[in-house]
Amino acid sequence: MTVIRQDDFITSVSDALQYISHYHPPDFIRALGEAYRREKSPAARDAMAQILVNSRMCAEGRRPICQDTGLVVVFLKIGMDVRWESSMSVADMVDEGVRRAYRNADNPLRASMVSDPAGARRNTGDNSPAIVHMEVVPGDHVEVTVAAKGGGSENKAVFTTLNPSDDIVDWVLKTVPAMGAGWCPPGMLGIGIGGSAEKAMLLAKEALMEPIDIHDLKERGPRSRIEELRIAIHDRVNALGIGAQGLGGLTTVLDVKIRDFPSHAASLPVAMIPNCAATRHIHFTLDGQGPAVLPPVDLDLWPDVHLDPPETARRIDLDRLTREQVVEWRAGERLLLNGTLLTGRDTAHKRISDLLNRGESLPEGLDFSGKLIYYVGPVDPVRGEAVGPAGPTTATRMDRFTELMLSRTGLLGMIGKAERGTEAIAAIQAHKAVSLVAVGGAAYLVSKAITSARVVAFAELGMEAVYEFQVKDMPVTVAVDSIGQSVHRSGPDFWRLG
Ligand code: SF4
């Protein structure tokens, strides 16, 4: 009988969450490095370079890879010969580990979980509770997998029940383009086939915890129907040309992992969940000998990469920005932003929209005229930082507010990640505005361009408050220009194969 002590388990979960906040899994670094070497699309190559530079900076600086430090998902396989020495339930111990990790004073992580999700959506303050999946299995130890899953990629999870005669590859090829780029490719696809609706979703999530090995599989050749499907989906999704950040390119997925389970003769349940550029998970075993020991990742693992030189981008003075300048920018063009930016994301937009629709004014000091808004919810700063990791959140979620923001506040444009929908593009074109993208998954690198930050409105919203940032050479790409051209349409069209 193995005894697992409460504090060993809590410490292990907490240490694992801190570890994955700043270390990509080694297989992910290797696979992204290979994709970077193969990439021909300049925009996708630069995005991958930013993600890799960011990844190494986070490993060295022990700061989060992404400002979205994720919802915590834990898989436990608990041996039947294990006894817990604890006054808490297993799920409560996991939550305590989450609290300790997210409130770590040396590397505080962003709390993203909200309670009353259909109502008040109050931040729980410590990122608890975690999503915990437990299985009781033969044996005398506990297998633990800890993952932090970004909201942008989790939002793209899809489920369908196909007819048994339907083609799964066809469904994936129809579904992936509809997911847009809000899941921050390049990443992975986890696919669950069979079981029931909830089983297929769980299989898809579990599949994402497996190591990247598609190139080994291709070399040795498939030995099962599932392996054939993995290869077919990997090749054909990459041939869609979506590319890193949806900018168009050769690699959208680094691997496709599939798990299956028997299903009812009448059904073919299929679930698909993407994992993003901030893929974060770790696996360890507890055998009663104390907390997990997590070895640092060797810094030699990161490949040499080259960011696009500053002279290839247009430098912009945000404090003297005019509509006449904005209309000159073209989709795909790279800019370096300097000066004052305002921030705001989902809840701030809702508040602004409610105020304006009631005929009320914006809070004192909040003036968007002649400004750009950056969709971001940063991590709290430490050790003299102006701000913690502060990468972009998905712009598409703000589409419904775009017409109002452009027509009523004097705003000239927005900065986020991923594509804009038809409604937002029409508003951008009508108001001769612009939508820019920064690289999702390069949050620590982006934060180095922010020289000061102060809250100007809605302080009670925490990371969702409106900040004023001063930025120096913040790299962005024009995603939608003032004539309605979108790089998320033209890029994949150009790089699509066949
Ligand atoms: S890389 Fe993108 S999807 Fe992943 S956590 Fe960061 S912002 Fe979210």
| Average pLDDT over every residue of 4-25 | 98
Ligand 1: centre distance to CA 456 (Å): 25
Ligand 1 in reach of 180 Cβ (< 6 A): no
Residue 390 confidence class, pLDDT cut points 50, 70, 90: very high
Q: Whose CA is nearest to atom 7 of ligand 1?
A: 440
Q: In what order do the strands lie in the sheet with 158-162?
A: 158-162, 268-275, 187-195, 253-263
Ligand 1 in reach of 277 Cβ (< 6 A): yes
pLDDT of residue 110: 94
Question: In a mutational test of the pocket of ligand 1, which residue from 48, 153, 188 has the highest number of ligand atoms less than 8 Å from its CB?
Answer: 153
pLDDT of residue 311: 86
Ligand 1 in reach of 113 Cβ (< 6 A): no
Task: Please state the atom number of ligand 1 nearest to the C-alpha of residue 65.
Answer: 6
Q: Return contacts of 483-488, CB within 8 angstroms, 24+ apart.
A: 483/429, 484/425, 484/426, 484/428, 484/429, 485/330, 485/331, 486/331, 486/419, 486/420, 486/425, 487/43, 487/247, 487/248, 487/331, 487/332, 487/437, 488/180, 488/181, 488/246, 488/247, 488/418, 488/419, 488/420
pLDDT at position 176 over 80? yes
pLDDT at position 308 over 90? no
Ligand 1: centre distance to CA 183 (Å): 6
How does pLDDT run across 250-307, given as a tens digit for each residue?
999 999 999 999 999 999 999 999 999 999 999 999 999 999 999 999 999 999 998 8
Ligand 1 in reach of 146 Cβ (< 6 A): no
Ligand 1 in reach of 391 Cβ (< 6 A): yes
Question: In a mutational test of the pocket of ligand 1, which residue from 48, 68, 419, 437 has the highest number of ligand atoms less than 8 Å from its CB?
Answer: 68
How does pLDDT run across 26-45, given as a tens digit for each residue?
999 999 999 999 999 999 99
Task: Please state the atom number of ligand 1 nearest to the C-alpha of residue 69.
Answer: 5
How does pLDDT run across 485-495, given as a tens digit for each residue?
999 999 999 99
Q: Whose CA is nearest to atom 3 of ligand 1?
A: 152
Ligand 1: centre distance to CA 172 (Å): 21
Task: Please state the atom number of ligand 1 nearest to the C-alpha of residue 149.
Answer: 5
Task: Please state the atom number of ligand 1 nearest to the C-alpha of residue 277.
Answer: 1
How does pLDDT run across 139-158, given as a tens digit for each residue?
999 999 999 999 999 999 99
| Average pLDDT over every residue of 422-442 | 96
Residue 65 confidence class, pLDDT cut points 50, 70, 90: very high
Task: Please state the atom number of ligand 1 nearest to the C-alpha of residue 443.
Answer: 6
pLDDT of residue 498: 72
Ligand 1: centre distance to CA 442 (Å): 9
How does pLDDT run across 185-200, given as a tens digit for each residue?
999 999 999 999 999 9
pLDDT of residue 142: 98
Ligand 1 in reach of 441 Cβ (< 6 A): yes
pLDDT of residue 387: 96
Q: Whose CA is nearest to atom 1 of ligand 1?
A: 441
pLDDT of residue 277: 96
CA distances, 385 to each of 146, 388, 479 (Å):
28, 7, 29
Ligand 1 in reach of 181 Cβ (< 6 A): no
DSSP 369-434: TT-EEE---PPPP-TT-SSS--PPPBGGGGHHHHHHHHHHS---EEEEBS---HHHHHHHHHTT-E
Task: Please state the atom number of ligand 1 nearest to the C-alpha of residue 276.
Answer: 4
CA-CA-CA-CA torsion sign (314, 397, 278, 108): positive
pLDDT of residue 424: 97
Residue 312 confidence class, pLDDT cut points 50, 70, 90: confident
Ligand 1 in reach of 152 Cβ (< 6 A): yes
pLDDT of residue 146: 98
Question: In a mutational test of the pocket of ligand 1, which residue from 276, 437, 444 has the highest number of ligand atoms less than 8 Å from its CB?
Answer: 276
- Distance in angstroms (rounded) separating the CA atoms of residues 220 and 206: 24
Ligand 1 in reach of 154 Cβ (< 6 A): no
pLDDT of residue 104: 97
Ligand 1 in reach of 244 Cβ (< 6 A): no
Ligand 1 in reach of 278 Cβ (< 6 A): yes
How does pLDDT run across 177-235, given as a tens digit for each residue?
999 999 999 999 999 999 999 999 999 999 999 999 999 999 999 999 999 999 999 99
Which H/E stretch holds residue 283? strand 281-286
Ligand 1: centre distance to CA 184 (Å): 6
Specify the pairing of strand 314-317 against strand 268-275: unpaired
Contact of 294 with 385, CB cutoff 8 Å: no
Ligand 1: centre distance to CA 150 (Å): 5
Biggest CA-to-CA distance, the chain: 74
Task: Please state the atom number of ligand 1 nearest to the C-alpha of residue 392.
Answer: 7
Residue 379 confidence class, pLDDT cut points 50, 70, 90: very high
Task: Please state the atom number of ligand 1 nearest to the C-alpha of residue 150.
Answer: 5
Question: In a mutational test of the pocket of ligand 1, which residue from 51, 66, 393 has the highest number of ligand atoms less than 8 Å from its CB?
Answer: 66
pLDDT at position 434 over 90? yes
Task: Please state the atom number of ligand 1 nearest to the C-alpha of residue 182.
Answer: 3
